[in-house]
A and B are shown apart, each in its own frame.
Chain A
Amino acid sequence: MTNHTVVRGGFTIERHYNVPPTRLFKAWSDKDELAKWAAPANNWHFSSECFEFKVGGREVSQFGPQGEEPYRVNSRFDDIIPNERIVTAFSIAKGSQRISSTVLSVEFRPDGKGTMLVLNEQGVFLDGQETPEMRKSGTDYQLDSLDTYLAANAG
């Protein structure tokens, strides 16, 4: 029998963006836009084969280094308030190996002429495959990419 371990953890990140909440919300809710910024590491790909953006809807996405077996994400949209917040619960696996299950909430708060994004993710990291610290650094990378993407695609 394999040795099953469960590490609990989470983090909160706050970021200011120079675009209004409507623009930021669109970048999070449009699968074509997500594919352009949501890869969590340099030269990784990200794409969604199922993206039902409604409460109770599913998302199935994959990401990873080119040419390797991808990580697969299975999500459920738990709560959506347009231009204000998105809450999802999702699992990540690679092949038959489960990596994690987490709840993610992203809030979009007006902040001057821009938006304060408040992201919280917490959950369980399974069987030594990932840690909350690794997840946070992947998320920091995504949020940097989002800033770069929005600077080039303000509309």
Chain B
Amino acid sequence: MNNRSAVHGTFDLKRTYPSPRADVFDAFANPEKKRQWAHGAPAGAHSLDFRVGGRESVEMPGPGGGTFKYEGIIHEIVQNERIVYSYTFDMGGGICGATLTTVELADDGDGGTHLKFTEQGAYLDGFDGPKFWERGTTSLLNRLAEHLAS
């Protein structure tokens, strides 16, 4: 194949959750919680080493029959305040994106948390880039809301 392309894009999503910052932070930092709400992955298919330089990975059967692979690395952590990580995403046909995620948490003044979620990335080989990612991330943040409410 010789139909390579790299499309670059970025988007921000903002949410306010009624939970305190420490709980929202913990949803990203606790491997067991992250596995469940973010990836919906079976136990054993996910690992997260939550420290600067640590890795996160998911490998499980994908919806199309191939193997779905997520490979991330944690770049930056400020407890209860911000997390920066990057990851690649492979739906079974090769890497279709490499993106950087920044999560910033702030008190909302009412016991809850403002979350600002930014994705910046390279979307590869004609894959339905930033729009696909934004839909996926919207759904991700909805699952976070459900997790925090439960």
Contact = CB atoms under 8 A, between A and B. Distances in A.
B108 interface: no
A101 B84 contact: yes
Interface in B64-107: 71, 73, 75-76, 78, 81-82, 84, 86, 88, 95, 98-100, 102, 104
A105 B97 CA distance: 11
Contacts, number: 87
A135 B12 CA distance: 22
Contact of A4 (B73, B82, B88, B98): B82
Contact of A56 (B71, B82, B118): B71
B98 A103 contact: yes
A124 B98 CA distance: 15
B41 interface: no
Interface residues of A, number: 29
How large, as a class, is the contact surface on chain B?
Answer: 20 to 34
Contact of A6 (B53, B102, B122): B102
Interface of B: 4, 6, 8, 10, 12, 52-53, 71, 73, 75-76, 78, 81-82, 84, 86, 88, 95, 98-100, 102, 104, 118, 120-122, 124
Given A8-B118, A85-B4, A122-B121, 15 more contacts: A4-B82, A8-B102, A76-B73, A76-B86, A87-B122, A87-B124, A89-B98, A101-B75, A101-B84, A103-B120, A103-B121, A105-B8, A122-B8, A124-B118, A124-B120
5 contacts: A10-B10, A78-B88, A89-B75, A103-B99, A122-B100
Interface of A: 4, 6, 8, 10, 12, 55-56, 74, 76, 78-79, 81, 84-85, 87, 89, 91, 98, 101-103, 105, 107, 118, 120, 122-124, 126
